Structures are given as structure tokens and as C-alpha cells.
A and B are shown apart, each in its own frame.
Chain A
Amino acid sequence: MRFLPLVENEVLKLWKRRRFRLVLLILVALIGIIVFAQVEGRRRYGSRKDWRIDAQEQVARMRNWLRRGRLPDTQRRWVQFEIARLQYHLDRNINPDETSGPLFTRGFANAASYLLLHLLAIVFAADIVSSEFAEGTVKLLLTRPVGRRRVLASKLAALLLAIALTVLLGGIVAYLFGGLAYGYRGWGAPVLTGFRLAGETLDSSAVRAVPLWEDTILVFGLAWFATATVGVIGFMTSVLLRSTAASMGTMLAALILGTILPRLASTWEFQKYLFVTNLPLPDYYTGSPPPIPGMTVPFSVVVLTIWAFAAHAVSFAVFARRDVLA
């Protein structure tokens, strides 16, 4: 029995249940509101028309500093980066002090990886298994000449596909709306990456400049990874609880706990091993302080990977053995 037709079945069911449409609608509505609010909020301050003169003056001043050569090494690198950044914007006639469509897109991934993307993942994950129990169709699904593990694997594949598509869709909608408000150009703008908090001070030894598009892809990659982990854990709750409402409630509670815990109990170090604490990793990749000091992007990737594998193992072990009495 080939595997692809099984995945096709599961994708078809997700589609026909209008899950994709719901998620797309949420993304469009939310991002639309955010962009609208930002544009309205900024209108009061107005934008300065003479930014070019400012930027040109700044570049000239910094070039001067470099020429005199009395800067320490670290500052030197900062100045060089700032010159490159301003020059990029001057060359393309983009105001460097304003956000751009590409910057907004990256910012969306950072903000959305606190809750929004994970909620959307749960929309898919919560009922992908439990709905079959609720509708009684599990009795047909599991009496066809296809092993239970294959059936479950096809569901997981469809879920991961849906989640990847959701993250991608989020990026596209954010870019379309952000571009509409702030212009579609600016993917090549240099941005700094590699900040690390070492104790109380910012460790900038690993900082380097990369084009914005490269950084955005990485941020979305991390957002996708965190969201996929939420998806796999939601998948497990769907298998274990066999009820969409119970699965959704459990996952919601976990996700909300993840946003509250670092604020209200930041001294409890153990929480850095919980999956929910590690979810906003795109944000601390781009330089925000991590929820618990000492957490790094590789650390979070490892923790999330372990959680995902454990959830995957539990789902399959339980689903393959349990009596179906629905």
C-alpha cells in the first residue's frame, strides 16, 4: 500500500473541514488589523521628508571617524555596519528610520511565535485524530488493510504539511500587507545577527551583518520549527484524549502557561526544559532577552526536538495498541 494516497486523504479532510480557510482568514484579519493600527498610530508623528540629508551627513561623519582611526575594534565594526546599512537605504531611496515590508514580515514572525502561530497549529492538531473518534469513522479507517501506524503517520504528515503551509502563509500575508503600508523593497538591507546575552552584558563577539532576506528565512525557519513542535504535542493530546475540546483546552492551557510562567516565576530555572518556555526562540534569536537567562537558540532547538520525539513516540505507541471502542 502506497503512503501518498493516505496523506492525500488526510489533506482532503483538513481542506473539506475548512481548516485552511479558517486559518487564512485569521491571518488576514489579524495582520490587517496590526498593519492598520501601526499606520494609524504613526500618522500623528508624520514622517520627515529630509531623511536623505540626515543619512548622508551621518555617513560622512562616520567615514571621518574611521579615517582618523582612533576607534577601538568593537566600535569600528559597529560604525562600518551602520555605514553599510545607511548606504544601502540611500542607494535605494528607502528611509532607514522607517520600517519596510520585509522588516514588518520578520517582525511578524517574531511576534507570532509567542502565541498566534501555535494557536493556529492547534486548530489543525486538536481534532485530526479525535474527530475520527467523535464521528465514528475511526472504525472504518482502522479496519482497512492498512496498519495503524501508517494511518497515524499519514495524519502526522498532513498535519506537518498544514503547519508548514500556515507559517508560509503567515509570511506571505504579512509581506503583502506590510508591503502595502511600508513598501515592498528592502530585502537586501543589512541586519545584525548573533547577539548573545552573557550574564548581564551583551556579548557582541559573534555579531555579524547579513542581508535581511537571509535573516528572515532563518526567523521563519525557527518559527516553523517551534510551531511544528506544538503541532506534534497537540497531535499527541488528540490521540490520548480522543476529544477535540479536551485536546484544544489542554494545549491552550499549556501555551498560555508558557507566556505567563517566565513573567511570574522567572527565578524557577527548571521551566527552561518545558516546551512552552522555548517557543519564542525566533525572538531571542533576533536579540530579545530569552525568557530565562542562559537560554540560547541551540538549547531551545534541542529541548523542542526532544519534546517532539517523545510526543511522537507516545502517540504511536498508544494509538497502535489501544482498543478502539468509539
Chain B
Amino acid sequence: MAEPVLSAEHLTKSFGDRVAVSDVSFEVGAGEVFGFLGPNGAGKTTTIRMLVGLARPDRGRVRIRGVDPAHDFARAMAHVGCIVESPDLYPYLTGRENLLHFARMLPDGAASRIPDLARLVAMEERLDDRVSSYSLGMRQRLGIAQALLGAPDLLILDEPANGLDPAGIREIRRLVRSLASERGIGVFVSSHLLSEVEQMCDRVAIIHRGRTLATGPVSELLSRSAAGFRIVARPAARAAELLSAMHPGRVQPDGEDALLLAAPPDAIPAALRGLVEAGVEVFAAERRASTLEDVFLEVTGGETV
């Protein structure tokens, strides 16, 4: 990876006795969509607050294009656009007034981007209505427009899919992908939705109880999760016994007549022959594509998102 746009090194933050984030490290490169996946309360938003200088890390440091916001806040944040937790804008101002407000906090020229950005997030029609009349999806889109006002190199989005309908989610996904590929923006996206991260991101870090449990390209994480087969056989108990003898610890029941066998494909013919020879009736054996959900279950030890 070239010089990362964002790097977090050993970020740690406690509130009293409760450790919210512990030793979290990752890097986000230019043009890359980086997913930060974890259940609610895992420490995602606390991490983001440290990334953008809202909270001070107890330990560790953040660098945005090599600049630590703790040392030179204005210079570091000049490259960042963000939405933290929720797209909160001034409800008593119109969309345009909100954008103008934040453009005034940027170097000259930011205001001239407003028409283009409004078109980009499809908010032209409603730009002169008050934000209090917007739906959550519209706020989310206006929030992204706001984040892009300063032509950032790094975009930080906290749960961008929140409050959106499936069509809206698809739109945001397309937008994020094109920002990364066409403008070379590094995008950091936090989410508790596995499918979302899987479809949107190039790389992902899984955070659980304040710790990163796995980090890597989505494809690599997916292949790391043992490929699995779903075998429907009767009697299932007997099948489980036989398969466990061949592949200890890799068999799980899946419903009444089915088993999940985590074994590479070339081990399957022998396994099936074994079952048939022992008189077990095999009805089906199908390959299951692993998903981030499997990875997640695996690394968190079975806790669902």
C-alpha cells in the first residue's frame, strides 16, 4: 500500500473502569474503502471520535496524511470529511445554509462546490428546505455533501446505512465506491451490517468489545474462514459420529437432518463415501459460500452481530 491516508496506532481509550477501545491499529489507503465492522457498543464510534480529534486517546496516536490531529489539528482536519455517529445538522437552517455554514469554516472556494455536491447526493430539489423537514436518508446524504465540501482525501462515515431503505443503501454504496475509485478518496466506513461491509469495502477490520479481532482484505478474510459443506443425511446423528471421526471438531449440526462440515472440497468425496458405506442415506451435499458473517462468528466465538 502507498502512503496511507489514515493510520491509527494502538488506540486505547477508557471511561472510568470501562475500556471502550483497546489497542486498535489499522491503516486506510488512498482510493480504498475500509470497513470497520462490529456490533453496536463494540467501540466503533469511540474510535472514530479519536480519529477526528473529538476525544483524546489514552494511548496510541492517529495520523492523517502523516499529521497527528493532536499536534496540528487544523492541518490534519483540512484533509478530512466526516459524519460521526449520526448526520446532525442545524435543523432550523436550510440544507444550503448548513452547507454555507460549514463552507465558511474551510478555505475559500468551498462554497463554490455546493451546486456540484448537491447534484452528487441528489439533494438539489430540497436544498432550500429546512433540514428539520428532511428524512433521515436525506440528512445522511446532506451530511455526505457536507463532508465532501473541503475536497477531502479521507472520508469517515459512521453507520452510513442507518435509517436508509434498501434503495438508499444501494445509492450510498454506489456513491462511496465511486468516490474511492474516481476521486481516489480513502473511505473509512463503520457498520454493524455484515452484508453492507462485504459489498462496499475492500478491506475490513472486525472490532469486538473494543479490540480488533481480524484485519485484512475482504477476500482474504472470506477465504480464511474454512470453506464449508452442508450435508443432508439420515440418520443425522450417525452421520455426525462418522464425520467427526474423520474430521474432529469440524462438524456442527444444522437443523434436523443436516450437518455443516468445515473441510476443503477435496476431502468431500472420501467423507461422503464413508457415510454411504456405513449405511447412512445421503440426500444432498452442497457447498456453502462463506460470508463475513461466518468470519465474524468464528472470530468472536459465536456471538452474533
Contact = CB atoms under 8 A, between A and B. Distances in A.
A147 interface: yes
Contact of A146 (B74, B76, B97): B74
Given A136-B85, A147-B74, A325 B55 contact: yes
Given A135-B91, A136-B88, A137-B89, A143 B54 contact: yes
Interface residues of A, number: 25
Q: Which of A140, A146, A323, A324 has the most CB of B within 10 A?
A: A140
A1 B150 CA distance: 13
Given A145-B74, A147-B74, A323 B55 contact: yes
A5 interface: yes
A208 interface: no
A6 B55 contact: no
Contacts of B86: 136
A16 B96 CA distance: 14
A34 B210 CA distance: 62
Contact of A145 (B75, B85, B88, B91): B75
A145 B55 CA distance: 16
A1 B105 contact: yes
Interface stretch (A7-15, A46-54, A68-76): A7-15
Interface of B: 49, 52-56, 73-78, 80, 82, 84-86, 88-93, 97, 101-102, 104-107, 146, 150
Nearest to B53: A143
A13 B105 CA distance: 14
Contacts of A146: 74, 105
Nearest to B84: A139
Nearest to A5: B104
Q: Which of A9, A136, A145, A324 has the most CB of B within 10 A?
A: A145
Given A16-B92, A145-B78, A140 B53 contact: no
Given A145-B74, A145-B77, 14 more contacts: A12-B101, A13-B101, A17-B92, A135-B90, A140-B88, A141-B105, A142-B54, A144-B150, A145-B73, A145-B75, A145-B105, A147-B73, A148-B73, A325-B54
B71 to A, nearest CB: 12
Contacts of A323: 49, 54-56
A9 B104 CA distance: 8
Q: Which of A5, A143, A147, A148 has the most CB of B within 10 A?
A: A143
B65 to A, nearest CB: 12
Nearest to B80: A143
A140 B89 contact: yes
Given A6-B105, A9-B101, A136-B85, A142 B93 contact: no
A148 B53 CA distance: 10
A141 B82 CA distance: 11
Interface in A95-146: 135-137, 139-146
Interface string A1-42: 100011011001100110000000000000000000000000
B52 A143 contact: yes
Contacts of B101: 9, 12-13
Nearest to B79: A145
B179 to A, nearest CB: 18
Contacts of B92: 16-17
A325 B49 contact: yes
A38 B120 CA distance: 62
